[in-house]
C-alpha cells in the first residue's frame, strides 16, 4: 500500500479552477518533486493534502485512510510534516525554542505533571532539548540556537522551518520552495541538508520548487504542473527533455 495516494483531486477558488484532476502516489522513502511556473497551483496541492483546504472533488488516502475533511493538526499528527512557502515563525522566540515548541505539540504530560514538575516531565524536557539540538545540528544551524529569528537571513530561517517540521517525526515531509530567497551557495547547502535528512530518517519527501536544477538533482520522479494540470510526469531526464515542459518554461529555467 502506498504511503500517500491522491486521486482525481480538483479544487476551485470561487470560479477559478486552481487544481484539476490531480493524482499522486508516494511510497515510503521516495523523493518526488512538483515543478511549475508561479500560480500553477503547487502550493494549493500542498494545502489540499495537509488539510488547509478541502478539495472540491477527489480522495486523499494516507496509509489507506481517507483524510479529506480532517483538520490540519490531525493530519500532521498522523505523520504529514510540512514547511510553508511564507515562513511561519515568531519574531521574539529564539531558534531552539521554535524547534522545541514544534515538538511539544506532539507530547502531553498531563495537568498534574505540568504544575508540579514530575520526574517524567523533567525527563521529557531534557529529551526534547536534546532532540532539538540534534535537529539544529543536522540542518547546520546549531550555532544560532540562542538567537531570535528577527535578525536571521532567509537561508537560516528556512532551515529552522525544516527542523520544526522534523521535530514532529513525520513519515512524509512536504517542502514548499525550500530554496526561496536563497543565494546559490545556500541553495547547494540546502540540497545537501535534504539529502542528509532523507538518509537519516528515511522519510518520503515531496518537494515543490520552481528551480529545475534543484529538483533534478534530488528527485526520482517529477511532475510538471501548468494551470492546475499535470502536463508531464517522469524521471528528471524525461522531464528535462519533454517539449511541453520546455515550452511551459520557455527554456529559461532549464539553463539556470
Beta bridge partners of 145: none
Listed ranges 42-50, 64-72, 110-118, 210-218: which one lies at the site for Mg ion (CB under 5 A) = 42-50
> Applying CB under 5 A, does 43 fall inside the site for Mg ion?
yes
As measured in angstroms, the least distance from the Cβ of 43 to Mg ion is 3
What is the 3-state secondary structure of 94-135?
EHHHHHHHHHHCCCCCHHHHHHHCCHHHHHHHHHHHHHHHHH
Q: Work out whether 83 is an interface residue with Mg ion (CB under 5 A).
A: no
Least Å from the CB of residue 40 to ligand ADP: 4
Q: Which residues bind ligand ADP (CB under 6 A)?
A: 13, 16, 18, 36, 38-44
Binding at 111: pick from Mg ion, ligand ADP, none (beta carbon under 5-8 Å per type): none
Out of Mg ion, ligand ADP, none, which partner does residue 40 contact, by CB within 5 to 8 A per kind?
A: ligand ADP
Asked if 50 is part of the footprint of Mg ion (rule: CB under 5 A), the reply reads no
Stretch that binds Mg ion, among 38-46, 52-60, 90-98, 187-195 (CB under 5 A): 38-46
Burial of residue 118 (number of CB atoms within 10 Å: 0-12, 13-18, 19+): middle
| 8 A C-beta contact, residue 75 and residue 69 | no
Q: Which stretch binds Mg ion (CB under 5 A): 28-36, 82-90, 103-111, 115-123?
A: 82-90
13 binds, among Mg ion, ligand ADP, none (CB under 5 to 8 A by kind): ligand ADP
Nearer to ligand ADP, 18 or 60 (CB): 18
Number of CB atoms found within 10 A of residue 86's CB: 8
Q: 138 vs 205, which CB is nearer to ligand ADP?
A: 205
Residue ranges that bind Mg ion, judged by CB under 5 A: 42-43, 85
Amino acid at each position: 500500500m502506498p504511503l500517500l495516494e491522491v486521486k482525481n483531486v480538483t479544487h476551485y477558488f470561487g470560479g477559478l479552477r486552481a487544481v484539476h484532476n490531480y493524482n499522486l502516489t508516494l511510497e515510503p522513502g521516495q523523493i518526488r518533486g512538483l515543478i511549475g511556473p508561479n500560480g500553477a497551483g503547487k502550493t494549493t496541492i500542498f494545502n489540499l493534502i495537509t488539510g488547509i483546504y478541502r478539495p472540491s472533488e477527489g480522495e486523499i488516502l494516507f496509509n489507506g485512510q481517507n483524510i479529506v475533511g480532517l483538520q490540519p493538526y490531525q493530519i500532521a499528527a498522523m505523520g504529514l510534516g510540512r514547511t510553508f512557502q511564507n515562513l511561519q515563525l515568531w519574531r521574539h522566540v529564539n531558534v531552539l525554542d521554535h524547534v522545541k515548541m514544534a515538538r511539544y505539540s506532539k507530547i502531553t504530560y498531563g495537568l498534574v505533571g505540568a504544575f508540579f514538575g514530575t520526574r517524567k516531565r523533567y525527563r521529557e524536557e531534557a529529551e526534547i532539548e536534546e532532540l532539538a539540538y540534534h535537529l539544529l545540528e543536522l540542518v547546520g544551524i546549531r550555532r544560532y540556537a540562542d538567537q531570535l529569528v528577527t535578525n536571521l537571513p532567509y537561508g537560516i530561517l528556512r532551515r529552522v522551518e525544516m527542523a520544526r517540521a522534523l521535530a514532529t517525526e513525520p513519515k512524509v515531509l512536504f517542502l514548499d520552495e525550500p530554496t526561496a530567497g536563497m543565494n546559490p551557495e545556500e541553495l547547494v547547502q540546502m540540497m545537501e541538508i535534504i539529502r542528509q535528512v532523507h538518509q537519516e530518517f528515511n522519510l518520503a519527501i515531496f518537494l515543490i520548487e520552481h528551480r529545475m536544477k534543484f529538483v533534478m538533482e534530488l528527485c526520482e520522479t517529477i511532475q510538471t504542473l501548468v494551470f492546475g494540470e499535470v502536463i508531464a510526469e517522469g524521471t528528471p531526464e524525461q522531464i528535462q527533455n519533454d517539449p511541453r515542459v520546455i515550452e511551459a518554461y520557455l527554456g529559461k529555467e532549464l539553463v539556470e
